[in-house]
Structure 1
Amino acid sequence: MNRPTDSKSQALVMALACALLGACSTVEDAPKGDAAYAAIPPAPAVGVDYRISPDDILRIQIYHEPGLSLEDAQVTAAGMVRMPLVGDVSIAGLSASEASDVIAGRLGDRYLVSPQVTVFVKKAVGRRITVDGEVREPGLFPLDGRLGLQQAVALAKGPTRLASLSRIVVVRQSDGQRKAAMFDLGAIRKGQAPDPEILPGDTIIVGLSRAKAILGGALLALPAVGAGFVALDGGF
């Protein structure tokens, strides 16, 4: 009895997996158009303050108190920053202005009269995105504030000359699953489509062929996936 070829064996495994999942497809079937934007919304027109994350580097200035000011204060893994006089102050998840108010409140409780505090995020180390595929300089990039897909690709020095701009895959971890959606960067650049917001932890892959290679041919499980996303069954 002849053994099935490797390709036939792989096809059989995929077919069985699809039968168990209920429905499967490849990365080509990541939602597009309105379905993609339902999953990853356009970036807002008006920016919202960046939320401080662990490992961020801050400049904290206390007006008229240079001895209490900090030039390179790193937020701990627990989301704290250590200040002179008052010790650890919890600021993770706050905007810079909110953190300023919290630190001013701690200092004003016992040590200073109406302290004026300014917090500036020098380096948003705790929030990163990955840009890969047909770009000039793929890699990990810090996410400072809010960012659209077009700006995210620009962080990697833009697409290569032969990049496929109509098939940009955004992969996001959500509800314990990796989910993917596909966007047309050319249409976004021309103002013909909204620019989706990119979140910390997102992976942007320029070009469908590169997305398929990077994702390793992972199956996409279609059932029970909301908001127009497809969930990647398997790792990168």
Structure 2
Amino acid sequence: MMEQTALQLFVLSIGASFVQRTTGFGFGIFIMTMLPAIMPSYGEATTLSGILAMTTSAIIVAQKYKYVNWPRLWPILLTFIIVSFGAIFVLKRMEYGILSILLGITLVAVSIYFAFFSKQIKVKTTMPVQVTAGALSGVMGGFFGMQGPPAVLYFVSSEPDKEHYLAQTQTYFLVGNVMMTLARAYNGFFTSAVGMGYVYGITGVLIGNLMGAWVFRHITGNLLKYIIYAYIGISGLTFLFG
């Protein structure tokens, strides 16, 4: 049984890390479709997802750090940290069924809207926009361990090219996951099962990162946007029919 769990975590980590490295997000969306069935509790699943995603982001940030623009990053990042902390602290008292349905509908609608109207959408790096994106991301990160879509839609529309986009998103996810991991540990979600899961998954993270880096070098900025919109839509469908 333990060998089967180790293999499942290894394969899931390859897929999740590949998606994250290729599109700039999606680790949690990919792995959380199956991880809760493997881990002892939902809280432990979100914790393991967070620390594996944190490792993926750390590798990318080390490679792309020179592209990080901190003035554009701090407002959305600080908002995310505050809101996600609140979400994690009420996680034990939440019912996920209705929230999952609403989240799925929202993700599908947003992906369709951006796919067809992205050329007309010009996201400005204003404080209200950053705070709104950070708050939505915080809610999704705290409750579901998948804070990507709101932040990604902001960064992919506001950053000048795919290198800046990747640097901004991965720095955002790295810092955010560090802070959420501390909050989850405080709430008792960082257990020995999470530690063993990390051991099983870390090699898969490294392999998926290498595969995704190769793909990222060969896709254009416009194609990247449509891949992102499509993946957000697919993730919404998993919530509705998973």
User: TM-score band, normalised by the shorter chain?
Assistant: under 0.3
Higher relative strand content:
1
Q: TM-score, normalised by structure 2?
A: 0.24
Larger Rg computed on CA atoms? 1
Higher relative helix content:
2
Q: For CA contacts below 8 A with separation 6 or more, give which structure has more relative contact order.
A: 2
